[in-house]
Structure formats: C-alpha cells, structure tokens
C-alpha cells in the first residue's frame, strides 16, 4: 500500500520560507510516477503547486513558479517543497500526492499538514 506523509513546521513567519518534506512508502520515488504538491487554503479549493520526477525534472504552477522549488531525495525516498517570501495568503493545508504513469491524476495523497503564516 502506497503511503505518503508530510512533515515540517506548522508556523512560518511572513517573508520567510516554507519547507515541507513528503516521505513515500510502498513505492519507490524512482518509479515511473511523478510526485506532486497540492495546497488548500482553509475553506477553499485545491490548488496544484508543482511536481517532480525522479530524474529531477520539475513543473510548477505559473502563478507560484518564481517562489517554488521542489526537489527529490532518492536515497531517502522522499521529496520536498520550498516556498519563499510567504504571506498570509500562503496559509493552507499542504498535501503531497502521487501522479501515476497511467494518467495525470493524483491517486495517492498524504493526510496533509496545515501551515500557518503569521508573526
């Protein structure tokens, strides 16, 4: 059974950097899947942030591209998200998810972690 688990600070100061890690179990991060980050502000809709392949290839949401970096750690089977210059608008539940080879959807999700941007 594929499982994903997000971890990282739950509180980030404005103008700071949000850093999260997603640990993957039950699948190799070097498999033929992409690995994504999706966020959801409280009471609002889902927003795709970006994705990474084990080769290091990345794709980002154009609206966040200037502030986002996604990286992969194959030795530890996890991938990470960094979002710089955060504001209150970046307060959200952050999910990591798998995008399978069969279709560009998200078939396995982490439970999500709430990140609050506040001083």
Partner 1 sequence: DIVVTQSPDSLAVSLGERATINCKSSQSVFSSSHNKNNLAWYQQRPGQPPKLLIYWASTRESGVPDRFSGSGSGTDFTLTISSLQAEDVAVYYCQQYYSTPQYIFGQGTKLEIK
- Which residues make up the interface to partner 1 (CB under 8 A)? 36, 38, 45-48, 51, 59-62, 95, 97, 103-107, 109-112
- Give least dist CB 42 to partner 1, A: 12
CA atoms 119, 112, 21, 71: torsion sign? negative
- DSSP β-ladder status, 18-25 and 113-117: unpaired
- Give least dist CB 55 to partner 1, A: 14
Cβ proximity to partner 1, 70 vs 83, nearer residue: 70
- Give least dist CB 79 to partner 1, A: 15
Cβ proximity to partner 1, 16 vs 48, nearer residue: 48
- Give least dist CB 5 to partner 1, A: 11
- DSSP β-ladder status, 47-52 and 58-60: antiparallel
Q: Is 97 helix (H, G, I), strand (E, B) or coil?
A: strand
Cβ proximity to partner 1, 16 vs 54, nearer residue: 54
Conformational region of residue 2, where left means phi above 0, alpha means psi within -120 to 50, and beta covers everything else = beta
In the block, tokens 């980002």 appear at 60
Contact 119, 15 (CB under 8 A): no
Cβ proximity to partner 1, 103 vs 119, nearer residue: 103
């Amino acid at each position: 059974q594929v499982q994903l688990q997000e971890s990282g600070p739950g509180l980030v100061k404005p103008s700071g950097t949000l850093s999260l890690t997603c640990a993957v179990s039950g699948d190799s991060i070097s498999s033929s899947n992409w690995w994504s980050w999706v966020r959801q502000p409280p009471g609002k809709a889902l927003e795709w942030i970006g994705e990474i392949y084990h080769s290091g290839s990345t794709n980002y949401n154009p609206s966040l591209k200037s502030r986002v970096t996604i990286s992969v750690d194959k030795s530890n089977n996890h991938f990470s998200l960094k979002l710089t210059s955060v504001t209150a608008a970046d307060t959200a539940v952050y999910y990591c998810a798998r995008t399978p080879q069969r279709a560009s959807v998200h078939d396995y999700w982490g439970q999500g972690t709430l990140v609050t941007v506040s001083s």
